[in-house]
Structure 1
Amino acid sequence: MKVGFLVNDLQLSGGVGVVVQHVHQLRSRHGFDARLVLVREQDDPHWAHHTLEGIPVESLATAREQPWDIAIGTWWETAFSLFELDAARHAMFVQSLEDRFYGADEAERVTAGLVLDLPVAFITEARWIRDTLAELRPDARCHLVRNGMDKEVFAGPAEIVPRLREPLRVLVEGNPSSWFKHVGAAVEAAGTMAEPRHLTVVSGERAAFAHAGIDRLVGPVSQRE
């Protein structure tokens, strides 16, 4: 089974990390010939993630010359290239309703929403997205495929020691320049807590945080960190 996942780039982000993991698992655990297809020319080097090792990365030009069993778009912009691949089946991997990432006055909001009208099957990792797609597109097939948990990263401790008398530890992660993540509002909300708390913020945009009450500021960090 030859599967191509179309991506804009291979820079560090949560969405790209999920796609890379799915490709890695399809190759290592299921024996699929799963590959990444870059739909754009790249100016920056790829994100140096260990699971990228051994995964073929094709340009759109080379991908057009090959037959595929399944071609999967992974972000609304990749839909422009999806049908350029000679594939028996086409699908979109929907990790969010992507029109919500744009303001009401931005044209991209409309274009991102139109992707859900494409004649493709849908794959999603979230029940609420599956249920929403079932209402919007009752004619389309939609598959729920959970991301799972990477036990190498999120390993359970052998023993949990209660810390009943210590402050509540609050973690806020994200870049404040992504307005839809409301990172600033989360930091402010933690700052209004009446009970003792220890606030850690993880962000690559350290200079943007001038908030009083942040106990620890970390970042940027690698995915493994």
Structure 2
Amino acid sequence: MKKKWAILLYGLGISGGANVIFQHAMYAVSQGIEVTIVSMNGQTHVDASWHEAAGCFDYKKFEDIVTLYFDVAIATEWRSAFDIYKVHADKYIYFVQSIESKFFQRNNSLLGYIAETSYDMPMEYVTEVTWIKEYLLRFYHKKAELVLNGIDKKIFTCDGKRIDERPVDHVRFLIEGSMTNWLKNVPKAIEVCKKAGADDVWLVTPDRVKKIEDFGVSRFFSKVPMKMMPEIYRSCDVLVKLSVVEGMFGPPLEMFHCGGTAITYDVEGSEEYMIDGENSFVLKKGDEKAVIGAVKRLIEDRNELNRLKENALKTAKDWIDWNHSSECFFEAIDKSTKINDEDYEIIQKKGKKGSDSYKQAEALMGLEPDMNRIEKLREFCRRETKKLFLYGAGKMCRGTILNLDQYDISIEGILVSSIDNNPNTVMGHRVYEIDKVMDKKDSIVIFVTSDIYYSEIFYMLQCKGFMDVF
């Protein structure tokens, strides 16, 4: 009889974290495991079609597995570590890919605090990077099994198809990441490249992007499937990746395999394979001047660029592939122990309490908005007297209202495309259809509450004639 794994995965869109999980799950299937992806929103293989393994798994919601029993249940992020109590299994594993309490911009974030408590759940722990292994041991006395991420050495190679040939008369820089995720710091990466005099900058992002003019880059790629990434890497010389929080820092390693080098901050995870001045430039987090200096140096010194590239390629050759990584992951799961009755009861109690807590916090307070955009809005409001409207009445709206209230920034109302299926008010603020304020477009400023759909909404509002949009 086939063994069964339930993997709790709440986001099936393009991301490095989801790719890692799919790689390990694909290997498990090859070993005869029946893998079920459990989501909150009923997502299916269609939502994960960017990955070659998407069709290898079954997809279910929690209500679909009430009567099912699994050999292994695997949590893959902090919310799922609480929700795992809903899964009946012999073994409970927490695969920690980052310390997600760091994802919240405010140190006093309630959701950040709840996320941090997930690391005290009585499960077996697996992680992908040394710094997380040390963190879990130091603060929670959890001995996590370390399984470094692999890389697909069949596609991430120096040789192969390119979007364009690497230029011989200048240096081409690549920036990768979501424009709306503050952790990725993409707008800052574009800004420092411009300040350094880089005139050929490419952007690849999981966001929906329609207008290159919005970002000031030479070329952009939106929602690129994983198989196309090597073609982009091979076309560029240097990856500029200024993330402020990471787990296992994957993109620079991919760039190394494709013959390039990287400029990054000394973000956690970089120490696994990046050596400053040897195969890349690894600079103090937040040191913009150092990044500008590094970009200028590589623009001006082709010999230095080539030296870093050569050493980066040597690093890449010594790195493990996915088969080796997933074999180690599979062995870690296989040798893990079955849950005992006492720990099972704790998972049931702590899990339900944590699950209820984060859902109540999200319902009452909403999700945290992008604080970089909040700061830009504050600067605008100091200069201008235009009336402020928020766009979007979902969970992000509540979090935005609470944040703006701390700065005494008044909100005129909330805009939506259609009043159907939207509330009449959110936290006392009236909801209007966007068409109702078309005649006021020159006298209002709009803050888009959504991060995920920011680019798409921004473009829509600009097309309607709203110029002051954050």
Out of 150, 170, 175, the position equivalent to 1:172 is 175
Q: Number of residues paired by the alignment?
A: 217
Matched, 1:190 2:193: yes
- Name the CA distance, whole Å, in 2 between partners of 1:4 and 1:185: 39
1:111 is paired with a residue of what secondary structure? helix
- Name the CA distance, whole Å, in 1 between partners of 2:102 and 2:84: 22
- Structure 1 gap ranges (5+): none
CA apart distance, 1:101:
1.3
CA apart distance, 1:115:
0.7
- Name the CA distance, whole Å, in 1 between partners of 2:186 and 2:72: 37
Which deviates further from its counterpart, 115-124 or 30-39? 30-39
- After superposition, where does 1:139-150 map in structure 2 within 5 Å? 140-150=142-152
**Letter matched to residue 14 of structure 1:** G
- Name the CA distance, whole Å, in 2 between partners of 1:133 and 1:80: 17
Out of 210, 213, 222, the position equivalent to 2:214 is 210
- Normalised to the residue count of structure 2, the TM-score between the two structures is 0.43
Which deviates further from its counterpart, 201-210 or 32-41? 201-210
- Name the CA distance, whole Å, in 2 between partners of 1:79 and 1:21: 20
2:122 is paired with a residue of what secondary structure? coil
- Residue 35 of structure 1 is matched in structure 2 by 36
- Residue 64 of structure 1 is matched in structure 2 by 66
CA apart distance, 1:24:
0.6
1:147-206 deviation digits (Å, cap 9, x = unpaired): 211134313428xxxx79532221101122111211011111212225x66311112243
Contact kept, 8 Å, 1:37 with 1:57, in 2: the verdict is yes
Contact kept, 8 Å, 1:39 with 1:78, in 2: the verdict is no
Matched, 1:20 2:22: yes
- Name the CA distance, whole Å, in 2 between partners of 1:67 and 1:211: 49
- After superposition, where does 1:67-216 map in structure 2 within 5 Å? 67-104=69-106, 105-138=108-141, 140-157=142-159, 165-194=168-197, 198-203=200-205, 204-206=207-209, 207=211, 210-212=214-216, 214-216=217-219
CA apart distance, 1:3:
1.8
Structure (1 or 2) with the greater helix fraction: 2
Question: In structure 2, do the counterparts of structure 1 residues 209 and 84 end up closer, same or farther at CA, with 3 Å as the change threshold?
Answer: farther
- Residue 46 of structure 1 is matched in structure 2 by 47
- Name the CA distance, whole Å, in 1 between partners of 2:149 and 2:36: 18
CA apart distance, 1:112:
1.0
2:73 is paired with a residue of what secondary structure? strand
**Letter matched to residue 8 of structure 2:** L
1:180 is paired with a residue of what secondary structure? coil
Contact kept, 8 Å, 1:175 with 1:205, in 2: the verdict is no
Question: In structure 2, do the counterparts of structure 1 residues 63 and 153 end up closer, same or farther at CA, with 3 Å as the change threshold?
Answer: farther
- Normalised to the residue count of structure 1, the TM-score between the two structures is 0.84
Higher Cα radius of gyration = 2
Question: In structure 2, do the counterparts of structure 1 residues 21 and 44 end up closer, same or farther at CA, with 3 Å as the change threshold?
Answer: closer
Question: In structure 2, do the counterparts of structure 1 residues 181 and 164 end up closer, same or farther at CA, with 3 Å as the change threshold?
Answer: closer
1:188 is paired with a residue of what secondary structure? helix
Contact kept, 8 Å, 1:6 with 1:38, in 2: the verdict is yes
Question: How large is the RMSD of aligned CA atoms in angstroms?
Answer: 2.6
- Residue 4 of structure 1 is matched in structure 2 by 6
- Name the CA distance, whole Å, in 1 between partners of 2:126 and 2:187: 32
Contact kept, 8 Å, 1:39 with 1:81, in 2: the verdict is no
Contact kept, 8 Å, 2:34 with 2:57, in 1: the verdict is no
**Letter matched to residue 2 of structure 1:** K
Runs of 4+ in 1 over 6 A off after TM superposition: none
Which deviates further from its counterpart, 112-121 or 64-73? 64-73
Contact kept, 8 Å, 2:73 with 2:84, in 1: the verdict is yes
Question: In structure 2, do the counterparts of structure 1 residues 130 and 63 end up closer, same or farther at CA, with 3 Å as the change threshold?
Answer: same
- Name the CA distance, whole Å, in 1 between partners of 2:214 and 2:56: 42
2:56 is paired with a residue of what secondary structure? coil
- Name the CA distance, whole Å, in 1 between partners of 2:45 and 2:54: 16
- Name the CA distance, whole Å, in 1 between partners of 2:168 and 2:158: 23
2:79 is paired with a residue of what secondary structure? helix
Contact kept, 8 Å, 2:124 with 2:144, in 1: the verdict is yes
1:47 is paired with a residue of what secondary structure? coil
CA apart distance, 1:118:
0.9
